[in-house]
Amino acid sequence: MISARWLEKRKPYWDRLESIVQRSGRGGLGALSHDELRELGLLYRQVAADLSSVREDPMSQRIAGYLNQLLGRAHNLIYMGRRARPGGILEFYRSVFPRIFRETFNYTLAAFAVFLGAAVAGFLICLADPAFQRFFLGPRMSDTIERREMWTHSILTIKPLASSFITTNNLTVSFTTFALGISGGLGTVYMMATNGLLMGVIAAACWQAGMGLDLAEFVAPHGVLELPAIFIAGGGGLLIARGLLFPGSLPRRDALVVYGGQGVRLALGIVPMLIVAGVIEAFLSPSFVPAPAKFVFAFAVFGLFALYVTQAGRTE
């Protein structure tokens, strides 16, 4: 028989789960913080265990009915995620995306660390063994760099087409990096490392050819959006891997829904960033605008981006 002492001990946990479910409101999982999502999983398991105990007591059917209803609401919250509502897209970019970015920043930082480590390795290997540059970049691009010619000027002759191609390519790379999180993160790490290695090798090749500034003034205007977007996509992939490999108190399927849901929101959040970056890369980056102007532009764009992801949605 369920004792009054047991009920008194367990009721705060039921109240807390109900509070989290109510707090989600119409916003679903998107209205909850990272800590609340973790707490939701823990409480869900605890209340499910409590329901099993209560069902064994014929005198506690009313309590069993309440717990069953509460678990049903929590289950729907986990699997429904964020509900659609009028103005949802604007609300997503105004508040939800920057908030989730902040709450999961360590995953984006981990993806950046993989990229940076591979870039540094590629740069150093290229300096130590120039033949690696030709092997990795291919003879055509290597010959172009050795002639001290930027391979990017051809973009200027097909600006609109180039913008579309660049954006499509960046979206493909980013979403592939994100989706490969389902491989336990191995595919995501591979994509981050490969892109980092490519950046490091190109940087070393241009630096050795005396074209370091040329490369920097080309990459800076669009890179301040494109590179963070790729890091965020990598962070989203690592979130999927987290749910798959380390579900914690949640069943693995539920953990994938929770952490994968956060990853999906990160992946969707970078779409405008990549579109804008594609336009900049096609029209401004390869142009003959003076380098100082390009660097000032890049600094301003990155400043606006940093302000957005660190401050937007804080009043919610």
DSSP string, 22-40: HHHGGGGGGGS-HHHHHHH
pLDDT at 152 (0 to 100): 62
Q: Is the domain of 54 the same as that of 117? A: no
**Of residues 180 and 55, more confidently modeled:** 180
Stretch 260-282: mean pLDDT: 91
Q: And the tokens for 127? A: 């300096």
Q: Is the domain of 147 the same as that of 293? A: yes
The DSSP code for 129 is -
**How many independent structural domains does the chain possess?**
2
Burial class of residue 263 (count of CB atoms within 10 Å of its CB; 0-12, 13-18, 19+) = buried
Q: Is the domain of 150 the same as that of 125? A: yes
**Of residues 203 and 135, more confidently modeled:** 203
The reply to whether 29 falls in a domain is: yes
Between CA 23 and CA 36 the distance in angstroms is 10
Q: Is the domain of 73 the same as that of 158? A: no
Q: Is the domain of 72 the same as that of 103? A: no
Q: What is the mean pLDDT of the chain?
A: 84
**Of residues 282 and 295, more confidently modeled:** 295
The reply to whether 316 falls in a domain is: no
**Of residues 101 and 40, more confidently modeled:** 101
Q: Is the domain of 62 the same as that of 149? A: no
- Confidence (pTM): 0.74
Alpha-carbon dihedral 74, 80, 86, 92, rounded to 10 degrees: 90
Contact 173, 191 (CB under 8 A): yes
Mind listing the pLDDT tens digit for each residue in 137-180? 888 888 888 787 766 655 555 555 556 667 788 889 999 999 99
Stretch 218-230: mean pLDDT: 94
Q: Which of 152-161, 202-211, 225-234 has the highest mean pLDDT?
A: 225-234
**Would you place residue 316 in the very low, low, confident or very high pLDDT band (cuts 50, 70, 90)?**
very low
Stretch 226-236: mean pLDDT: 96
The reply to whether 303 falls in a domain is: yes
Q: Is the domain of 26 the same as that of 115? A: no
Contacts of 54 (CB under 8 A, 6+ apart): 2, 60, 63, 64, 67
Q: First CA to last CA across the chain, in angstroms? A: 44
Q: Is the domain of 218 the same as that of 151? A: yes
Crossing angle of helices 252-269 and 212-245, in 10° steps, is 160
Mind listing the pLDDT tens digit for each residue in 239-270? 999 989 988 766 787 778 888 888 999 999 99
* Residue ranges in the chain assigned as alpha helix (H): 4-24, 34-55, 61-80, 88-91, 97-103, 105-128, 130-137, 139-146, 159-179, 186-208, 212-245, 252-269, 271-283, 291-311
pLDDT at 25 (0 to 100): 66
The reply to whether 158 falls in a domain is: yes
Rg (CA), the chain: 25
Among the candidates 59, 85, 111, a domain finishes at 85
**Would you place residue 51 in the very low, low, confident or very high pLDDT band (cuts 50, 70, 90)?**
confident
Burial class of residue 147 (count of CB atoms within 10 Å of its CB; 0-12, 13-18, 19+) = exposed
Structural domain harbouring 20:
4-85
Among the candidates 53, 85, 117, a domain finishes at 85
Q: Is the domain of 202 the same as that of 131? A: yes
**Of residues 78 and 245, more confidently modeled:** 245
pLDDT at 26 (0 to 100): 60
Q: Is the domain of 185 the same as that of 302? A: yes
The reply to whether 91 falls in a domain is: no
Stretch 4-27: mean pLDDT: 81
**Residue 310 confidence (pLDDT) above 70:** yes
The reply to whether 55 falls in a domain is: yes
Contact 60, 2 (CB under 8 A): yes
The reply to whether 34 falls in a domain is: yes
Q: Is the domain of 186 the same as that of 166? A: yes
Contact 285, 234 (CB under 8 A): no
Contact 194, 121 (CB under 8 A): no
Q: Is the domain of 271 the same as that of 124? A: yes
